[in-house]
Amino acid sequence: MACVSAGPKTYAQTEEVVVVVVVVVVVVVVVVVVVVVVAAVIVRVVVVVAVIVRVVVVVVVVVVRVGGGGVVVVVVVVVFLVVVVVVVVTGDTYTKEKRKASFKVSTSQGNVVVVVVVVVVVVTIGAAAVVAALVVNIVVE
């Protein structure tokens, strides 16, 4: 609230920073989702967990450097990544079961459909969660 009382220029600058942060976070989330899904499909869960640990470390470092109430953002990103892993592993198991049940189903098409659905759902949920977390941070501060 101090920004508002300081004058319109300061408030406008704060607003620009918030917009930039939101855009950067959404882009990072989309890239992370794509990397995690591709890693899960290609080399399974161990590598995915390693990728997630690295991403979480990077997010924590960025939030600490930027400052402010970034705890909510970190929590949202961690929960979001856990959801990604669960969905990917579930989708992978489901695809394997479908293969066992019927060899008539084209496995490559099945995999593509599972990956596309996972990416769309996860990106939507993740973007919404990150924006919500940023809004909560702004309102709280």
Domain boundaries, the chain: 25-140
Q: Which long-range contacts (CB under 8 A, 24 or more apart) does 59-66 make?
A: 66/21
- Is residue 95 within 8 Å of residue 110, measured between CB atoms? yes
User: What does each of the 141 residues of the chain score in pLDDT, given as a tens digit?
Assistant: 444 444 455 545 556 666 677 777 777 777 777 777 766 666 665 656 666 667 666 666 666 666 655 566 666 666 677 777 666 666 666 556 655 555 544 555 556 666 666 777 777 776 666 766 666 665 555
- Is residue 125 within 8 Å of residue 21, measured between CB atoms? no
Q: Cα–Cα distance between 96 and 30 in angstroms, integer?
A: 26
Q: Considering the entire predicted model, what is its pTM? A: 0.29
Instruction: Supply the pLDDT for residue 141.
Output: 52
Instruction: Supply the pLDDT for residue 31.
Output: 76
